[in-house]
């Protein structure tokens, strides 16, 4: 294993840390400073931990990110910053709601569908039901800030509903102002070697004076700040960059990275087979993103604050810069990036899927600090409230910790991050019972445990993996195995079991849902032949009753899966418990407005039987049908 190196621009702090602390502290104590600071939460999309220059560890990143690097020199760069989930939507909902994805039953993108395997006969397990959106009555961070005098703005990606345009939208969740243009991320037609930006006045992506394509998403962020600089504001800038499609409208940048990387443009414009960080399209996208981040920061630093004459907007603004999950390493036909030394990437709860860049700057925060304290996107809600001087709503549960004492104290001191009961936080949990990952993980201090759900009679999987990421020595963390390459579960069985029990306790408290075995899987699975059979159903008024036969395995749980808008474009399904009755029957009350429903019966071996049969994703795509096409229809 290579030794960790930290050779960055961050090490070149011109004025010295001591001067920075004095200046920051003096400014923070200025009585003329407006009481409500501005807050900007800048969330990149799929930006990996190793995609930003200031995060170089073993090998230098080819991407050039001077503006993000400069931002890091103005505040705290966290080496152990994590996203709440390894995919987009659950992280976004967690940040805005303060609720852990497992607690919110929002563990993956889209959602709001009956549990079903992706392929009826080829997948051993299926994910549980998970919500399609953040509840409309959620007490979001934006709603709380709005209530306390902040003008709240959102621009860019939303994706906190069943699709980008479905209800609820930003204006339903506490935002006064919202815009969501794709800008330069709109797919290039017919492929990514056509339609490069030009200097023509009528080109919607026309090149600016610095040769970068115009990006409406970036301009929207600037517009919100310009229009609201005379009042305290909260901007949630949810960038579309650097999500697929992997492309750049800057031919200059594409050629620059082809030359820098020593590669040629691909013959097939839809492919990139070069391993590692050699994709010139992606490298150009990262630099474009950095450029547009820089435009916003430059505006804050060069524009006088109307609420604080003689001072710039940036002097009274907190900026949180991060990503929604780890880098997406590849898609069919294309390698995008490489999160090495971290293992895997987006759609996995391994380090590469959850560890993300995280930089926080603002009044009273020491400049040029690198911190190894373990922090999480769930911490943003309580931290932003604290920085804004806003009390947490009395009945609001938050799963994160307030980082303000850490940021305004010693950013390198993990004892300053405390749970609500005052205990020092040393544990984080991730729950991703979805896709092919089907895993939960827990980090306790230096160790991380991975629980794999699809391990029964599976030669390619084990139930538990234990890794020692670091070795803490005299308060300092020394890198050991952030690659997650050496499974210690067999050599440290007591440690693995203790962490597994702790993981179970945490997930049980959050009422987490788990994946199920698929009774239609083509190959052998233990106890597959014992799955129950549903015999009949009957609806009387708003009560529906099902009769079933057990075939050797006891049914232990039942859920009604129902929709209120069956057959519509944004068909969305919900879950409510059903009752198991004597005589092998299950009963449920249909919620008002139910149009279609199915019953899920789960047996003691964790097989799920759906009645009627739910069509798998591949078949539905082929037939262009939705779930209601095979579900039971409510009798009026």
Residue given tokens 């579309």 in the structure block: 240
Q: What is the mean pLDDT of residues 318-337?
A: 98
Residue 16, pLDDT above cutoff 60: no
Query: pLDDT tens digit string along 202-232?
Result: 999 999 999 999 999 999 999 999 999 999 9
Give the model's confidence band at 4: pLDDT under 50 very low, under 70 low, under 90 confident, else very high. very low
Residue 136, pLDDT above cutoff 70: yes
Give the model's confidence band at 340: pLDDT under 50 very low, under 70 low, under 90 confident, else very high. very high
Dihedral class, residue 194 (left if φ above 0, else alpha if ψ from -120 to 50, else beta): beta
> What H or E segment, with its residue span, contains residue 585?
strand 585-589
β-partners of residue 159 are none
Give the model's confidence band at 624: pLDDT under 50 very low, under 70 low, under 90 confident, else very high. confident
Query: pLDDT tens digit string along 448-505?
Result: 999 999 999 999 999 999 999 999 988 889 999 999 999 999 999 999 999 999 999 9
What is the pLDDT, as a whole number, of residue 1?
36
Backbone phi and psi for residue 405, each to the nearest 5 degrees, phi listed first: -60, -35
Handedness of CA 128, 132, 137, 141 (dihedral sign): positive
What is the pLDDT, as a whole number, of residue 474?
84
Mean confidence (pLDDT) of the chain: 94
Q: What CA–CA distances, in Å, run from 159 to 96, 165, 180, 277, 338?
A: 12, 8, 11, 28, 25
User: Which positions ≥6 away from 559 have C-beta within 8 Å?
Assistant: 129, 575, 576, 577, 578, 599, 600, 602
Residue 12, pLDDT above cutoff 80: no
Give the model's confidence band at 178: pLDDT under 50 very low, under 70 low, under 90 confident, else very high. very high
Give the model's confidence band at 625: pLDDT under 50 very low, under 70 low, under 90 confident, else very high. confident
The three-state secondary structure class of 76 is: strand
What is the pLDDT, as a whole number, of residue 3?
38
pTM summary value: 0.94
Domain ranges of the chain: 9-423, 429-492+510-517, 528-633
CA distance 1 to 337: 20
Query: pLDDT tens digit string along 95-120?
Result: 999 999 999 999 999 999 999 999 99
Query: pLDDT tens digit string along 576-587?
Result: 999 999 999 999
What is the pLDDT, as a whole number, of residue 59?
87
CB 307 within 8 A of CB 244: no
Angle between helices 280-302 and 216-228 (to 10 degrees): 10
What is the pLDDT, as a whole number, of residue 28?
52
User: Which positions ≥6 away from 444 have C-beta within 8 Å?
Assistant: 426, 427, 499, 502
CA distance 392 to 141: 10
CA distance 391 to 381: 11
Query: pLDDT tens digit string along 524-534?
Result: 999 999 999 99
Q: What is the mean pLDDT of residues 237-264?
A: 98
Selected residue with higher pLDDT from 3 and 572 = 572
Q: What is the mean pLDDT of residues 303-322?
A: 98
CA distance 310 to 85: 42
Give the model's confidence band at 571: pLDDT under 50 very low, under 70 low, under 90 confident, else very high. very high
Residue 30, pLDDT above cutoff 80: no
Give the model's confidence band at 20: pLDDT under 50 very low, under 70 low, under 90 confident, else very high. very low
Q: What CA–CA distances, in Å, run from 433 to 328, 514, 515, 549?
A: 18, 6, 6, 28
Q: What is the mean pLDDT of residues 239-254?
A: 98
Topology of domain 9-423 in CATH is Alkaline Phosphatase, subunit A (3.40.720)
Topology of domain 528-633 in CATH is Immunoglobulin-like (2.60.40)
Q: What CA–CA distances, in Å, run from 397 to 221, 448, 590?
A: 30, 26, 29
Residue 8, pLDDT above cutoff 80: no
């Amino acid at each position: 294993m290579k030794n960790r190196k930290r050779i960055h621009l961050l090490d070149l702090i011109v004025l010295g840390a001591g001067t920075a602390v004095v200046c920051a502290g003096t400014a923070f104590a200025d009585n003329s400073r407006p009481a409500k600071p501005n807050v900007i939460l800048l969330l990149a999309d799929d930006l990996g931990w190793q995609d930003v220059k200031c995060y170089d560890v073993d090998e230098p990143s080819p991407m050039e990110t001077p503006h993000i690097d400069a931002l890091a020199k103005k505040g705290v760069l966290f080496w152990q910053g994590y996203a709440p989930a390894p995919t987009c939507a659950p992280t976004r909902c967690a940040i805005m709601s303060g609720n852990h994805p497992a607690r919110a039953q929002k563990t993956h993108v889209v959602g709001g569908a009956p549990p079903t395997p992706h392929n009826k006969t080829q997948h051993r397990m299926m994910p549980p039901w998970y919500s399609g959106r953040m509840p409309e009555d959620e007490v979001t961070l934006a709603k709380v800030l709005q209530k306390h005098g902040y003008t709240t703005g959102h621009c860019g990606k939303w994706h906190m509903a069943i699709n980008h345009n479905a209800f609820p939208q930003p204006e339903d969740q506490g935002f006064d102002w919202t815009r969501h243009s794709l800008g330069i991320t709109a797919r290039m037609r017919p492929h990514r070697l056509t339609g490069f930006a030009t200097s023509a006045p009528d080109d919607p992506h026309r090149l600016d004076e610095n040769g970068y394509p115009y990006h409406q998403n970036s301009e929207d962020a600037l517009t919100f700040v310009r229009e609201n600089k005379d009042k305290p504001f909260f901007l949630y800038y949810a960038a579309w960059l650097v999500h697929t499609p992997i492309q750049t409208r800057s031919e200059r940048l594409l050629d620059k990275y082809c030359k820098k990387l020593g590669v040629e443009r691909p013959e097939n414009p839809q492919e990139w087979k070069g391993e590692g960080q050699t994709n010139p399209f992606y490298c150009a996208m990262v630099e474009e993103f950095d450029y547009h981040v820089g435009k916003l920061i430059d505006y804050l630093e060069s524009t006088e604050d109307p609420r604080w004459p003689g001072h710039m907007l940036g002097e009274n603004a907190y900026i949180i810069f991060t990503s929604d999950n780890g880098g997406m390493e590849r898609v069919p036909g294309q390698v995008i990036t490489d999160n090495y030394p971290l293992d895997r990437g987006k759609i996995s709860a391994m380090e590469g899927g959850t560890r993300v860049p995280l930089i926080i700057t603002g009044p009273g925060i020491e400049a040029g600090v690198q911190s190894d304290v373990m922090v999480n996107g769930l911490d943003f809600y309580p931290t932003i409230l604290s920085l804004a001087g806003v009390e947490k709503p009395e009945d609001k549960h938050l799963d994160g910790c307030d980082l303000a004492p850490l940021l305004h104290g010693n950013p390198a001191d993990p004892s300053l991050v405390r749970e609500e009961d005052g205990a020092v936080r040393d544990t984080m949990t991730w729950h991703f019972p979805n896709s092919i990952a089907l895993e939960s993980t827990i980090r306790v201090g230096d160790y991380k445990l991975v629980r794999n759900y699809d391990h029964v009679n599976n030669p390619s999987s084990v139930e538990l993996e234990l890794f020692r990421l670091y070795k803490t020595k005299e308060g300092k963390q020394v890198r050991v195995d952030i690659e997650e390459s050496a499974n210690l579960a067999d050599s440290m069985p007591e440690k693995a079991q203790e962490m597994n029990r702790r993981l179970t306790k945490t997930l049980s408290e959050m009422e987490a849902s788990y994946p199920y075995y698929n009774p239609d899987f083509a190959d052998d699975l233990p106890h597959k032949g014992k799955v129950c059979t549903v015999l009949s159903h009957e609806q009387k008024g708003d009560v529906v009753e099902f009769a079933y036969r057990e075939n050797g395995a006891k049914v232990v749980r039942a859920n009604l899966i129902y929709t209120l808008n069956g057959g519509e474009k944004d068909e969305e399904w919900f879950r409510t418990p059903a009752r198991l009755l004597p005589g092998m029957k299950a009963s449920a009350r249909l919620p008002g407005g139910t149009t279609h429903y199915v019953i899920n019966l789960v047996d003691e071996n964790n097989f799920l039987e759906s009645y009627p049969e739910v069509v798998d994703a591949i078949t539905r795509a082929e037939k262009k049908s939705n779930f209601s096409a095979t579900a039971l229809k409510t009798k009026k």
